Structure 1
Amino acid sequence: MTAVLRAREVTKVYGGTHALKGVDFDVAAGRVTALFGENGAGKSTLMKILAGIERPTTGQVELDGEVTQPRSARDAADHGISIIHQELSLCPNLSVQDNLFLAREIRGRTGAVDRAAQRAATTAVMRRLEEPIDPDRLVADLRLGQQQIVEIARALLQNARVLIMDEPTSALTAPEVAVLFRLIRELTAAGVAVVYISHHLDEALEIADDVVVLRDGALVATAKARDVELSWIVSHMVGRDPDALFPDREPEIGEPVLALDGLVVADPQNPHRLAVDQLSLTLHEGEILGIYGLMGSGRTELLEAVAGRITPVAGTIELGGEPLGTTGIRDRIARGIALVPEDRQRDGLVQTMSVGQNISLAGLARFVRGLFVNRDTERAAVSKIISDVTVKTSGAAAAIGSLSGGNQQKVVIGKALLTQPRVLLLDEPSRGVDVGAKADIFALVAAQARRGLSVIFTTSEAEEALHIPDRLLVLARGRLVGEFRRGQITREDLMSLSDGGTAVPTEARERAR
């Protein structure tokens, strides 16, 4: 096994925080190295050092046995090291092809950008990814999963010798993941070294050849992927068995709080297609209602319609027996409906604001006295939320970008809770967070439900769908195809139902009620 890239005794210190502690890390040519660890374990910091985005405090990086330290991401790319970032780094106001060739344009003999060549290359790489995206389409108009495909395509076009993938599948559908895995195997067969980071542990283990685990900035375990199981990975990451990650819950379900009747929602990107088709449901006080569906099932559009972000084409939404009509987000928040969006970076956080400012943003009206904001009351409320949702931060004044993905997600949830909602809508709340943060988030949700909060959360992860909700709805192509109490459906039946859209027999649905 040939190590093409090595980190030797790498340490990284930020102020008083040791993000990495003397880490040795090898990346072998023609193999996939899966890097596991909780948020804050040091995975992204290590990858940024390898990719030239950060420099180590001590230690060194070796490429082909030679000591080197890329001075920038461009320098690393010139050395054959490319990275796909966890948080998308695309320019939404530019087209797909402009994003793929930004700062590395194809130029003709006159020096002008050869847009025809760029368009042809974009079409070819998208065909390779089995995603027919128009090269001239604005990135802002793409759904999140398609944007992630564009990020992957950009890395593929660089013909890297070492390809670092940091959460490349967090917004991809199962078929898209299968295509990516096929490409990864093609790349490794050609001698490319791949580093694969994912919070989908079973997925990463499936594609990996080698396994490395970080915890608290230190390397704690290495193994061949064929020799380990998920329980081994989780125990080294967080010291807990996977079965202990889902909270035990004896729900106390109250009266109906939210009722949807015959809801019809058009696809915002294609008004001729229905994202939600004649959907009816009832949510009760203190209930955790799960909605399972693959990409395109309508799960996001459903929550956005309830939150007032999308106006339904038909149907009614009632809160506490009163119709909500066509009111928008501000009115829905005032009435007690709060949404935690799927894309926390674009829709949930303001990157230029601090942790505390992000938390208080949606509930700021609570602290206004006359023409001024009562800062003492605001600070006290923010401090309590930080404590309640267990955000790991140096304080409310810390930059939101200094937090790990899991802690950023907790900030978005805290912002929603500060509005004192009756109904909390969570769209893929565990996307891009590790198993420990995921356990924290669902323990928080269960605690809030015990206090009477009504919760709807969407997920595309079968384990979450099977273990978390008191009641589970399955969506396929905008339609409700199944309804179950916890323990009434298997993983295999869940996957089959959501993929094929086959309706559950009426008697089964009646039993589920």
Structure 2
Amino acid sequence: MTTSDASRRPVVEMTGITVEIDGTAVLRDVDLSLHPGEIHALMGGNGAGKSSLVKALTGAYRISAGDLYISGEQVVLSGPAEAGAAGIAAAFQDVDLCGNLSIAENVMIGHEERRWYGISWGRTRRRAVAVLDELGLGDLDPRRAVSTLSPAIQQLVAIARAMVTHPKVLVLDEPTSSLDAEEVATLFRALRRLRDHGVAILFVSHFLEQVYAISDRITVLRDGVGQGEYPTRELDRAVLISKMIGKDLTELRRIGSERRAHRADPTGEPVFKAIDVGRRGEFQPTDFELHRGEVVGLGGLRGSGRSEFGQLLAGVVRHDTGTIQIDGVRVALSNPAAALRRRIAFASEDRRDGGIIEELSVRDNIILALQGIRGWARPISRAERDALVDRFMESLFIVAPGPGVPAKQLSGGNQQKVLLARWLATNPHVLVLDEPTRGVDIAAKVEIQARVAEMARAGVAVVFISSELDEVVRLSDRIAILKDRRKIGEVSNGPGLSVDTIIEMIAADDEDDA
């Protein structure tokens, strides 16, 4: 961004913004300014108010106090349609495209080129191609079904749809949460192209490295209050994190230190034992043991079979080779319900499709699995339910207006903690956690990792699956290393173990195969 760019009048200026929901202030006296030709990152912990500020800017939330100026004129937005008419467009984390429709149909939906006889599909496709070309996607076949595209290209198609009206401002809420590194690079090339064409981009993300790679300025929120606005190149990462969470990174270091102090070589009979467990075409037969109070990490690169193996262990997918023993007794885990009856719980990496039920309240989401174990003939009493929900909302620091609000109103990190609370409420003996910190900010990571360590100290046997090898090393007593849907080795944790050790083992396996 040039000096002249920085000195231009903001296309959006929000001053003293306060937003209240059901009488509770979710934003208090927040300022935000967006300039043409700039990528402005919005950072903050779960419940910090990022989504609320985005909804205020896009007209979904009414501003209770404060002023909103667009191109120097004060405006009051009564809904998203008015925001769109004022030049503000948005694309969100959960890409809302129609998979059975073509790229052109998705890009132009609601803006089709019409003639006296109806929609002119030829002109509509040509306009879609022109918009896609602005994002560097002019070579895409506009007739191709969206369902055949990669997640990154789907995200770009969603952005293209937002750009059809040539907005002044593009709001992107967690656009990279489900993308790999190569796909992120594709998206960033498109964003830089839009920035160079003068679009003001608000980039909401919890990925620090991505924010530093793509943004010109950063605004930080915490607990609904602004913590300042900074040029990205002048804001140290440690300072940013401390402003986001209100404390430094000593908490993560403490968790790792406590895990190492807690660690002891397992003795006695394992609580869980898998012998030659696998599934044809999905995971090779593998032995695996878990002892009480032990955290065993599954370490491996993308495609190694981490999630698939976790699902086999928890009965989410039925194994067709081998046997499973609980406390030395052979059991049949034919489905998740059978596993739950044995106090084996599985928390899916996909909180939207495999976990949280968005329309249910936070309260009902938390007690769902426990009520399922008991059966609907033995309902949980109101007193027990309220005590249980209050305990987990407090211990997991779940930020919500109240336990009765729909789970869809919570931030992603708080939804993740509600899902964790659901399985903890079942008092599990074995807990399989698949990517429990994916899509959450550093503050939520600290809280979730602290709870995992606490569960282990309480005697729960935990299988911890994460694509972030540093947190696998931080939390695990032992690490099973996976590659190409098989286990290639296992290591005990200790002072000499690092992420590099795991990567070297994976690379060495390549040499052995050769």
TM-score by length of 1: 0.84
1:238 paired to 2:245: yes
1:471 paired to 2:478: yes
* Mapping 1:224-373, distance limit 5 Å: 224-246=231-253, 247=255, 248-249=258-259, 250-252=262-264, 253-254=266-267, 255-265=269-279, 274-325=281-332, 327-365=334-372, 370=377, 373=380
Q: Does the CA-based 8 Å contact 1:406-1:432 persist in structure 2?
A: yes
| SS of equivalent residue, structure 2 residue 68 | strand
| SS of equivalent residue, structure 1 residue 10 | strand
* Counterpart AA for 2:243: H
| SS of equivalent residue, structure 2 residue 31 | strand
1:209 paired to 2:221: no
Alpha-carbon distance between aligned partners in 1 of 2:226 and 2:362, rounded to the nearest angstrom: 29
1:419 paired to 2:426: yes
Superposed CA offset, 1:199-218 (max 9, x none): 22222222222121112222
* Counterpart AA for 2:96: L
Alpha-carbon distance between aligned partners in 2 of 1:9 and 1:461, rounded to the nearest angstrom: 38
* Mapping 1:17-416, distance limit 5 Å: 17-86=24-93, 88=94, 90=96, 94-95=100-101, 97=103, 100-105=107-112, 110-112=117-119, 114=121, 128=137, 135-136=144-145, 138=147, 146-147=150-151, 149-159=153-163, 160-246=167-253, 247=255, 248-249=258-259, 250-252=262-264, 253-254=266-267, 255-265=269-279, 274-325=281-332, 327-365=334-372, 370=377, 373-416=380-423
Alpha-carbon distance between aligned partners in 2 of 1:199 and 1:351, rounded to the nearest angstrom: 22
Change in Cα spacing, 1:103 to 1:476, as seen in structure 2 (3 Å) is farther
Alpha-carbon distance between aligned partners in 2 of 1:438 and 1:63, rounded to the nearest angstrom: 36
Alpha-carbon distance between aligned partners in 2 of 1:323 and 1:308, rounded to the nearest angstrom: 14
Which 10-residue stretch deviates more, 467-476 or 484-493? 484-493
Q: Does the CA-based 8 Å contact 1:90-1:99 persist in structure 2?
A: no
Alpha-carbon distance between aligned partners in 2 of 1:149 and 1:197, rounded to the nearest angstrom: 19
Q: Does the CA-based 8 Å contact 1:90-1:151 persist in structure 2?
A: no
CA drift at 1:155: 1.7
Alpha-carbon distance between aligned partners in 2 of 1:120 and 1:344, rounded to the nearest angstrom: 36
Alpha-carbon distance between aligned partners in 1 of 2:457 and 2:475, rounded to the nearest angstrom: 14
CA drift at 1:447: 0.6
Percent identical residues: 31
| SS of equivalent residue, structure 1 residue 464 | helix
Alpha-carbon distance between aligned partners in 1 of 2:143 and 2:301, rounded to the nearest angstrom: 23
1:503 paired to 2:509: yes
CA drift at 1:124: 6.3
CA drift at 1:89: 5.3
Which 10-residue stretch deviates more, 103-112 or 392-401? 103-112
Alpha-carbon distance between aligned partners in 2 of 1:439 and 1:251, rounded to the nearest angstrom: 19
CA drift at 1:502: 4.6
* Mapping 1:450-461, distance limit 5 Å: 450-461=457-468
CA drift at 1:418: 1.4
* Counterpart AA for 1:503: D
Q: Does the CA-based 8 Å contact 1:101-1:154 persist in structure 2?
A: no
Which 10-residue stretch deviates more, 67-76 or 187-196? 67-76
Alpha-carbon distance between aligned partners in 2 of 1:127 and 1:324, rounded to the nearest angstrom: 55
Change in Cα spacing, 1:376 to 1:23, as seen in structure 2 (3 Å) is closer
Q: Does the CA-based 8 Å contact 1:472-1:486 persist in structure 2?
A: no
Which 10-residue stretch deviates more, 315-324 or 441-450? 315-324
Alpha-carbon distance between aligned partners in 2 of 1:403 and 1:30, rounded to the nearest angstrom: 32
| SS of equivalent residue, structure 1 residue 157 | helix
CA drift at 1:380: 3.3
| SS of equivalent residue, structure 2 residue 397 | coil
CA drift at 1:8: 1.9
* Counterpart AA for 2:455: Q
Structure 2: any 5+ residue segments left out of the alignment?
Answer: 1-5
Change in Cα spacing, 1:76 to 1:369, as seen in structure 2 (3 Å) is closer
CA drift at 1:57: 1.0
* Counterpart AA for 1:150: Q
Q: Does the CA-based 8 Å contact 2:286-2:487 persist in structure 1?
A: yes
Q: Does the CA-based 8 Å contact 1:211-1:222 persist in structure 2?
A: yes
CA drift at 1:109: 6.3
Alpha-carbon distance between aligned partners in 2 of 1:452 and 1:131, rounded to the nearest angstrom: 54
Change in Cα spacing, 1:375 to 1:49, as seen in structure 2 (3 Å) is closer
Superposed CA offset, 1:33-53 (max 9, x none): 121111111111111111222
2:442 counterpart (435, 443, 460): 435
Alpha-carbon distance between aligned partners in 1 of 2:390 and 2:98, rounded to the nearest angstrom: 34
Q: Does the CA-based 8 Å contact 1:425-1:457 persist in structure 2?
A: yes
What residue number does 2:14 align with?
Answer: 7
* Counterpart AA for 1:321: G
* Counterpart AA for 2:197: A
Change in Cα spacing, 1:213 to 1:336, as seen in structure 2 (3 Å) is same
| SS of equivalent residue, structure 1 residue 236 | helix
Q: CA RMSD in A?
A: 3.5
| SS of equivalent residue, structure 2 residue 369 | coil
Alpha-carbon distance between aligned partners in 2 of 1:67 and 1:378, rounded to the nearest angstrom: 48
CA drift at 1:149: 5.0
| SS of equivalent residue, structure 1 residue 353 | coil
Alignment coverage as a number of residue pairs: 491
Change in Cα spacing, 1:487 to 1:31, as seen in structure 2 (3 Å) is farther
* Counterpart AA for 2:457: R
Alpha-carbon distance between aligned partners in 1 of 2:102 and 2:304, rounded to the nearest angstrom: 25
Structure 1: any 5+ residue segments left out of the alignment?
Answer: 267-273, 507-513
Change in Cα spacing, 1:425 to 1:105, as seen in structure 2 (3 Å) is farther
Change in Cα spacing, 1:224 to 1:190, as seen in structure 2 (3 Å) is same
What residue number does 2:3 align with?
Answer: none
